[in-house]
Copies of this chain bind each other. A is one copy, B any other.
């Protein structure tokens, strides 16, 4: 190992001056190397170590200066974009935990990345929450290329479909070249196999030009088990709390100021350097914080200060997630509504295993339309506890879906709803979510009835971990296909074999939502009987028949779109026999 010269160009820690800030309200970043004004400033928060060096690959080694609260800093001239570096700690070369690019993967050197990019999205109007229709994408399986540029060619298609934002499953550098992304270990680095940071900027730029927003799935509840270099450097992780998936970030104990700051800077980084429009926070139930101010509150404030959106995945059925601060909440814009999914899935498929055991009747679905949380204080047999608390079911507070990466991929067989339901049932489900008055989310390929499975897959390198993941997926999800095998990943790619009848139906549903519903709605008028229900929202009246059955119609209306021809063109109050399917009417009179 090159022992280096204590370099004369290493200067004292200078205060960072931000470049390229548009809104001016960002906090000064501390985490990660910064390029600008002809110099590079390296930073490492490592209070548990006494000495650190910077090693430029093919260059020199610099002794870093340790500052208060555990910061090592070094400012150096003459080091440009894409320069590769390691930190040297205890004689070992490690990547920068706040790396902005890992061109050779999780164990390789970190690369300097310029914050500059020739953005051409000046006319992007920003997300309109009322008109939000989200399309969830796994970058690796969406296109044959499995990259950000593979998404770019479909942007116009998505916009024409009626989608208003794409939501990318996590893109922070994760182990290997394929994976769902939830085991990332570099919050600031964009996955190399997806194309890295510049390709992501290019995708966001293109999406904005196509009038599509970009929501990013971010994981602050744990870090992945492989290549966690943070652990030995300082109190990045909680000693008190443990997530089901691994170490939890330390948001409330000694050293937590820096960890909280890292998360908030991370959000700002995506907004500032990548023009990201919103965030989906992974599994917030596993973000435990006993501080007077919960980190979720800080997250919501940070995102809102930049005029962006924040969505939570939560299985707590806790109104605090979406409640305003005045109502003791965290002020997050919206949360995923699993209860809606479980209600419609169990009702249409008849499945009752696992968490579906808590659902299955039409009454569950009706309650989810009316109250959002089906469990808002009732005993859950699956959870073996009383679950949830009542919430104000404002429409834009909840994201509903009939499929998402979890609901498909955590089925051992990865089978999509298109292969479980008949076409009438599938269209019915699609309408139920799109015309729910909540914010609909589609899982990639859903709009055309994609039939390829979506499995869990990974590309770890540690043999013990690989075996553990295999065993875990086998035991807990009955997944037969080896998650670690490339063929499992390849089998999960979209076929793009499109069922045109499904696709045009989805297009009509999205148009109906936009034109006749105008956005989210807080109240939904439902009627229901044996095998049917109707939902009236704004100018729309939708009739759902779970099987061939007489339906009591309570509105007059004219047909906009139906899944089969048993739905009359004109309806009035009274009883009509209808075949399984869904018909969407414009209310008249």
Q: Which residues of A contact B (CB under 8 A)?
A: 47, 69, 235, 239-243, 252-257, 285, 288, 290-293, 316-320, 328, 379, 383-386, 388-389
Contacts of A379 in B (CB 8 A): 257
- Is A385's CB under 8 angstroms from B316's CB? no
When the two chains form their complex, are residues B290 and A385 in contact, meaning their CB atoms are under 8 A apart?
A: no
Which residues in B have their C-beta under 8 angstroms from that of A386? 257
Minimal Cβ-Cβ distance residue in B for A317: B292
Nearest 6 interchain pairs by C-beta: A292-B389, A328-B328, A292-B318, A254-B384, A256-B385, A257-B385
Distance in angstroms between the alpha carbons of A1 and B546 in the assembled complex: 61
Chain B residue nearest to A391 (CB atoms) is B292
Closest B residue to A47 using CB positions: B384
- Take A240-B241, A242-B240, A328-B328 as given contacts and tell me if A384 and B255 are in contact as well, using a CB distance cutoff of 8 Å: yes
CB-CB under 8 A from A319, the residues of chain B are 292
Residues of the B chain whose Cβ atoms lie less than 8 Å from the Cβ of A388: 292
Q: Is the interface of A mostly helix, strand, loop or mixed?
A: loop
A320 and B294 CA atoms in complex are apart in Å by 12
Are A385's CB and B292's CB within 8 A? no
Report B-chain residues with C-beta under 8 Å of the C-beta of A69. 384
- The smallest C-beta distance from A332 to any residue of chain B, in angstroms, reads 14
Complex Cα–Cα for A65 and B239 (A): 41
| CB of A116 to closest CB in B, whole Å | 33
Q: Which residue of B lies closest to A69 (CB)?
A: B384
With beta carbons under 8 angstroms apart, the residue of B255, B318, B320, B389 that contacts A385 is: B255
Bound Cα distance A241, B317 (Å): 20
CA distance A252 to B319 in the complex (A): 16
Q: Which residues in B have their C-beta under 8 angstroms from that of A318?
A: 291-292
CB distance from A568 to the nearest CB of B (A): 45
CA distance A241 to B286 in the complex (A): 11
Residue of B nearest to A248 (CB): B240
CB–CB B254/A385 < 8 A = yes
Closest to A287 in B: B290
B254 adjacent to A383 (CB under 8 Å): yes
CB distance from A379 to the nearest CB of B (A): 7
Q: 8 A-B residue contacts at CB 8 Å?
A: A240-B241, A240-B242, A241-B288, A254-B383, A254-B385, A285-B290, A291-B318, A292-B317
CB distance from A243 to the nearest CB of B (A): 8
The listed residue with most B CB atoms (<10 A of its CB), out of A47, A317, A319, A386, is A386
Which single member of B288, B291, B328, B383 contacts A240 (CB below 8 Å)?
A: B288
- With a CB–CB cut-off of 8 A, which chain B residues contact A290? 285, 288, 316
CB-based contact A293/B384 at 8 Å: no
Contacts of A292 in B (CB 8 A): 316-320, 388-389
A252 to B, closest residue via Cβ: B385
Q: How far is the CA of A253 from the CA of B254 in the complex (A)?
A: 26
The chain B residue with its CB closest to the CB of A70 is B384
Nearest-CB residue, chain B, relative to A318: B292
Q: Report A210 CB to chain B, min CB distance, Å.
A: 40
Q: Name which residue of chain B comes closest to A377, CB basis.
A: B292
Min CB distance A228 to B, Å, is: 19
Q: How far, in whole Å, are A290 and B388 apart by their CA atoms in the complex?
A: 11
Extra pairs beyond A47-B384, A240-B241, A240-B242 (8, CB < 8 Å): A69-B384, A240-B243, A252-B385, A253-B385, A290-B316, A292-B318, A292-B320, A328-B328
Considering the complex, give the chain B residue whose CB is closest to the CB of A382.
B254
Cα(A386)–Cα(B292), bound, Å:
11
Q: Which residues of B contact A241 (CB under 8 A)?
A: 240-242, 288
